[in-house]
Structure 1
C-alpha cells in the first residue's frame, strides 16, 4: 500500500482533538500534508523512524517535561497572534490537521494523547516543536 493510500485511514485516533476544537481544525488531505511537511519535517534528517535529527537546526528550547502544560508554554512562547499551526503524528494513517496555534494550546492535552510522538509547525514563525513521549520537547527552526 502506498503512503498516499494509507494516509488518513485512522481518523478515529484524532477524534478527541477534533471534538475539542469544534470547527477550528481542518483535516489535511495527503497533498496538503506533504506540502506542509516539505516546509518543516522534510527539512530534517531522521534518527530511527520517528525522531528528528536536530543537527544543523537552530534549537530554541529543549524540555524534559512531556505534558500538555509544557506544550501550551511552548506554543505561547513561539507562536504569533493568530498563527497557523500544522500538527502531525508519527503514523501517516493518522491524518494531520491545521488550526490556529492558540486553539492547539487550548487542546494540548488532547493532541498529546493521540500518540507517542507528534510535531507542530508554526507556519509564520517557522518553529517546529517535536514531542517524544517520555522524553519531552524540542523546539527550533528547521535547517535551511
Structure 2
C-alpha cells in the first residue's frame, strides 16, 4: 500500500479530539499533510524510524516531561495562541490536524493520547516540537 493510499485511514483515533475542537480543527488531506511536512518534518534527518535528528539544529528546549503540562509550557514559550499549528502523528494512517496553538494547549492531553509520538509544527514561528512518549519533548527551529 502506498503512503497516499494509507494516509488517514484511521481517523477514529482522532474522534475524541475532534469532538472537543469541532470545526476549529481541520483534518488535512494527504497533499496538505505533505506540503506542511515539506516545511517542517522533511527538513530534518531521522534517527531510527520515528525520531528526528536534532544534531546541527537550533534546539530551543528539551524537557523530560511527557504530559499535557509539558506541551503547554513549550507552546507558551514558543508561540502565540492564535498561531497556526499542524500536528503530525507517527502513523500516517492517523491524519494530520491543523488548528490554533491555543487549542493545542487547551487539549494537550487529548493530542498526546492519540499516538506514542507526534510533532507540532508552529507555522508562524518556524518551530517544531517533537514528542516521544517516555522520552519527553524537544523543541527547535526548523532548518532552512
* TM-score normalised to structure 2 length: 0.98
1:50-107 CA deviation, whole Å, 9 max, x = no partner? 0000011100000001000110111111112410000000000000000000011000
Structure 2 residue 139 is matched with structure 1 residue 127: no
The CA RMSD measured in Å over matched residues stands at 0.7
**How many angstroms apart in 1 are the aligned matches of 2:143 and 2:91?**
23
The more displaced of 71-80 and 84-93 is 71-80
1:16-62 CA deviation, whole Å, 9 max, x = no partner? 11112121100000000000000000000000000000011100000
Contact 1:76–1:102 (CA under 8 A) maintained in structure 2: no
Secondary structure of the corresponding residue to residue 22 of structure 1: helix
Counterpart residue number, 1:142: 142
**How many angstroms apart in 1 are the aligned matches of 2:26 and 2:100?**
10
Listed as ranges, the matches of 1:24-63 within 5 Å are 24-63=24-63
Listed as ranges, the matches of 1:102-121 within 5 Å are 102-121=102-121
Gaps of 5+ in 2: none
Gaps of 5+ in 1: none
State how many pairs are aligned.
Answer: 144
